[in-house]
Chains A and B, each alone.
Chain A
Amino acid sequence: MSVYLPITDADREAMLARVGVPEIDGLFADIPESLRLREALALGQPLSEYEVMADARAKAAKCRPAASLPCFLGAGVYDRLVPAAIRHLTQRSEFYTAYTPYQPEISQGTLQAIFEFQTMITSLTGMDVANASVYDGASGCAEAMLMAVNHTKRKKFIVSETVHPEAREVVSAYAWSGGIEIVSAPAKDGVTDRDGIGRLMADDVAGVLVQSPNFYGAIEDVAGAADAAHAAGAVAAVYVADALSLAVLKSPGESGADICVGEGQGFGLPMNYGGPHLGFMAVKQPLMRKLPGRIVGETVDVDGRRAFVLTLQAREQHIRREKATSNICSNQGLNALSATIYLSLLGRDGVKEVAARSMANARYLKERLEGEGFAVLYTAPFFDEFVICLPSPAADVSPALLERGVIGGLAVDGLAGGAGGAMLVCATEKRTKAEMDAFAEALKEVCYA
C-alpha cells in the first residue's frame, strides 16, 4: 500500500459495505469487459522516496548545468542571480497546494499576490492592464496575435525577423490553425527594417510584432514600428524576452505599443531546462476586455474590507466556452509569485542595478573579445547580448569550450555568411570579470590555437 493512500483494509470493507458493492472491481463495472486491463502496467515496482531520490541524483549527475559552469548563453533564458527567499516562500504549501482562486474568501493570498504582480508588470511595461500571466513568452506572442486579430477583425499579422525564432515558430503554428496569414518583416544590420514594416502595412493587417531587445540583443525602434502600425489602423505588439531590460529601457507603453508580452524567467526563476517559465501580458485600456487568462481586481467584502477577486470573467472559457477570448484556463501562478517576490526584494533600485550590472558586464565582455580579435557583427545599441563573428562555425567551437569548463553562447552560424561562424553571447549580472576573462581566453585558444 502506498504511503499516500490513507484508507486501511478495514476502512475499505466498511466503505464498500456502505456503497453496497462487495468488491472494488464492482465499482468499475461500467467499463466494458473488453476494455478492462488484465495485466499490470509495465511501470515497475513502487520505489521508496530514498530510491526515487537516488535515481534522480543519478540523472542529475549526467548533467553539467550552468549552476556549476559559467554560462554565456542567453537567447531568451538567462542565468541570473536568484535570491534565496524566493524558493523558501514559494515552497510554503499554502501557496503551492492551492488551486485557481475561485473562492476568494479563502484565496486572498494568491489573489493579492497576483494583484501586486499585475501592478508591477503594468509599471515595468508602461501599460494600463496586466493579466495574471500566460504560459511563456513564446505562446504569449501567439496570444498577442490572436488579440490583434480579434480586435481588428483582420487576418494578416506582421512578425519581425528579429523576433526569437522559437516565438516565431509558435506564432506560425497558431496562425496556421487560426487561418491567419503571417508576413515576415525583414531585418537590416540586426534590427527590424523600419521602412520594410512601412511597406508591408496595409488596411488588412491586424498588427505587427517586434521584439526589443531583439533576438540578437539589439534595442529596436519600437516607436517607429508602433507609428507604422497605427497609421494603418493596426495593433502594435512588443515582445520582451529579456525582462530585466524593462528596468532601464524606455517602456513599450511609452513607445506606443498597444500590447506588451514578455518572458519573465529573468525575474527570479531558475532556467529549468526551458520551463516552466512565466509569460506576462499587458495592454492599453482599449484592449482590456480582449486580454486572455485570469485578471484580479480589487473590491470589498460585505464588511467593507479591502479584498481581491478574479474579475472580468466574461472573457473566459469557463463562462463563454467557444466565444472566449482564449482557451487558456491556468496561468503560471506560482511563477508569477516568484517574480513578485523577486521584484519586491530587488525593488525599485535593485532591478536597475541588475540591468546596469548586466550591461556593464556585456560591454566588458565585448571589449575583451574584440581585444582578442573577434569582431562584433552588428553595431546597433544592445542590452546584454550581442553577436560575435568566429573564424569557424560556433557549432564546432562550443564543444571545445565545454571541455574547457565554459558554456559558450548560442550558435547562430547562418548570420555571418561565408565559412565563418557567429555566436550570440550573453553576460548577465551573475558573470564575474574572471569568468569573462577565462571565456575570452578559452575562445581564443579554441579558435586560433
Chain B
Amino acid sequence: MHSRYDKLIFELSSEGKEGYRFPETGVDNADALVSLPAGMLRTDELSLPRVSEPEVVRHYTLLSQKNYGVDGGFYPLGSCTMKYNPKINEDVCGLEAFTGLHPYQAEESAQGALELMYELGAMLAEITGMARFSLQPAAGAHGELAGLMIFKKWHEGRGDGKRNKILVPDSSHGTNPASAAAAGFEIVTIASNSSGTVDTGALRLALADDVAGLMLTNPNTLGLFETEIREIADLVHEAGGLLYYDGANLNAIMGKARPGDMGFDVVHVNTHKTFSTPHGGGGPGAGPIGVAARLEGYLPGPVVVKDGAVYRLAPAGEDSIGKIRGYYGSFGVLARAYAYIRTMGAEGLTAASETAVLNANYLKELLKGKYRLPYDRVCMHEFVLDGLIEAAEGVATLDVAKRLMDFGYHPPTIYFPLIVPNALMIEPTETESKDTLDGFADALLKIADEAICEPQTLHEAPRDTPVRRVDETRAARQPVLRWEQPVEKEAE
C-alpha cells in the first residue's frame, strides 16, 4: 500500500498557523529591525509556509512513505554499497556532547571529539595500509579532488610541473575524470582488456613524463580484482607517476588485502559505503583520505595529533594543499563510522567482506542462465550483467529495472559502467540473507520470462509505486525548479 498523498508543504499554508514556540529570553525584540537602515531590510514576502507542528510532522511522514530505503527492502545498487545502517551509530553521533560542540571551542573542551577523530584516523590507516589520514573531505568525489591536489603539489614540489595528465580506466566512476578536471588535469582514458581489467599494454603506451598519475578502483567497477595491480603500480611509479585508490569498492577486501600494500599513494574511503554511515537520500557522507608516508605533509589541515595524553588540531604544514572545506570534517558522519568499526572489530570487518563477496557470487550464479554475464569469473562484492539473453523486441535494461519495483525491490545500478552497454550492476552487500537473495533472483528470473512472453508488462512497469514512470524529457525541456504561488491566491 502506497501513499497517494500529493500536497506540497506550501499548499498546506494558512495565515495564523505557527509551528514553533519561542522561549522567554528577557530581552525585548520589538525594535530590533528598526536599528538598521531601511534600505538594508527586505520588503518582499518569503515563500515559506505557515503550518502547525502536527501538519509538518504528518506531511514529512507521508513523504517518507513514498521513499524506498535499506530498512524497508533490498537495495542492490552497484557501486553504492547499500548495507544496513546500524542504529547504535545514530545514538553515538546524536550524543548532545558531540552535536552541541562548536568547532571553535577550545581544544580542552573538545578532547573526546578529537580523541574519536584521532582513533578513527588510525583505524582507517590500519584497514587501508596507509600512513596517515585526513578526515576532512566531505564525500568520495571531494576526497578525489583533495588527492589529486596532493598529486599536483607533490610533482610541483619536485620541480616536475609539466605533469598535467591523469589516467583513468574506461570502467571508472564519472567522478574520477570530473575530479581530475576540477584539479586542472587533462584526462586520458585507458581501455580495459577482454578480462575486464586494466590493459597493461595500453597503460604502458599512455605513461609518459607528462602523466601525474593513475586513478583506479580495485576491485574495479565490474566487481573484478585487478590481478596485475603490482605490475600496474610499478609501471606508474617507474614512470614518475602516483597511484590513486578510489575506495568505492573497499567493502570487498577488508582484512583480505590493503591498497597501501598494493602500492597506492593516496586512498579515499567512502564512510557511507564501506563503513555503514547512512546515504541520507544523497548525503551527507564523508570521504576521508589516507596517504603513503612520503605524502603526509601534503594532507589538508588541520590534522588531529596526540601530544602525550592531549589531542590537538595541528595546523597544516607548508607542503599542505590547504583546506578544502570548513573546519575539520563531517564529524557527525565520522562518529558513526567510528562506532561501526568498533562494533565490527577486525574479525567482523573481514567477515563482512567475505560475506559481501559470497553473496555477490551466489547471486551471479543464480542469474547467469537468463542474463548475459560478460565476464564469467569469480567476482568480488559486485557483478555486472549485460542485459537479458533473450527478450522480445524493444525490451531494455531500463524495463527490467522498472519492473523490479513491482516486486518490491530497488533496482540495481543500470547502464554503468559504460563499457557494458546494457549494464545491470548488482551489489547485494553482506547484510542480506540467503532468503532475500533467493527472492530477488526469483523475481529477476520471472521478469526474464515476462520479457519473452509478455513484454507489455515490462514496458508498463512499475504499476504499484507512488508514481509511475515520469516524463524526464519534459522536466529537462521546460524546467520547473520551484513552486510558484498560484495567481488566484496572491490576494490573501
Contacts and interface: CB of A to CB of B under 8 A. Distances in A.
Contacts of A109: 63-67, 281
B276 to A, nearest CB: 8
Contacts, number: 713
A42 B331 CA distance: 23
14 contacts: A2-B344, A4-B343, A68-B97, A95-B67, A98-B279, A173-B323, A177-B184, A273-B110, A273-B328, A317-B178, A324-B181, A333-B282, A333-B283, A341-B56
A7 B358 contact: yes
Contacts of B481: 115, 118, 122, 129-130, 288, 295-298, 311
Interface string B410-440: 1101001000000000000011111000000
A28 to B, nearest CB: 5
Contact of B144 (A59, A307, A327, A360): A327
A212 B333 CA distance: 29
Interface string B447-471: 0000000000000001001111111
Nearest to A426: B102
Interface string B125-153: 01100000000001111101100110010
Given A177-B149, A275-B329, A59 B431 contact: no
A398 B112 CA distance: 20
Interface in B63-84: 63-72, 75, 77, 80, 82-84
A449 interface: no
Contact of A334 (B179, B284, B345): B284
Q: Which 8 A-B pairs have the closest CB atoms?
A: A274-B327, A67-B100, A433-B26, A274-B103, A334-B280, A59-B112, A109-B67, A333-B282
B80 A99 contact: yes
Interface stretch (A73-81, A183-191, A226-234, A369-377): A73-81
Interface in B41-65: 41-51, 53, 56-57, 59-61, 63-65
A109 B3 CA distance: 10
B216 to A, nearest CB: 14
B385 to A, nearest CB: 16
Contacts of A42: 126, 346
B33 interface: yes
A104 B64 contact: no
A197 interface: no
A306 interface: yes
B405 interface: yes
A328 interface: yes
A434 B26 contact: yes
A321 interface: yes
A416 interface: no
Contacts of A83: 19-20, 53
Interface in A101-145: 101-110, 112-113, 115-116, 118-120, 122-124, 126, 129-130, 132-133, 135-139, 142
Nearest to A28: B256
A448 interface: no
Contacts of A89: 56-57, 60-61, 64
B397 to A, nearest CB: 13
A112 B63 contact: yes
Contacts of B378: 19, 21, 26-27, 29-30
B126 A63 contact: no
A276 interface: yes
Interface residues of A, number: 209
Contacts of B224: 30
A65 B331 contact: no
A321 B144 CA distance: 14
Given A47-B342, A334-B284, A103 B410 contact: yes
A142 B61 CA distance: 35
Secondary structure of the B contact surface, majority rule = loop
A34 B329 CA distance: 35
A62 B97 CA distance: 9
A92 interface: yes
Contact of A81 (B23, B46, B68, B69): B23
Contact of A249 (B41, B48, B77, B416): B41
Given A30-B225, A40-B347, A434-B26, A219 B20 contact: no
Contacts of B257: 28, 31, 35-37
Interface stretch (B86-94, B199-207, B289-297, B386-394): B86-94
A79 B175 CA distance: 35
B250 interface: no
B467 A61 contact: no
A66 B101 contact: yes
Contacts of B326: 76, 136-139, 164, 166-167, 170, 263, 274-275, 277
A174 B69 CA distance: 35
B127 A357 contact: no
Contacts of A119: 10, 47, 482-483
B193 interface: no
B113 A138 contact: no
B71 A97 contact: yes
Nearest to A364: B27
Contact of B183 (A137, A138, A178): A178
B40 A219 contact: yes
B46 A36 contact: no
B323 A169 contact: yes
B230 A35 contact: yes
Most interface-central of B44, B57, B281 (chain A CB within 10 A): B281
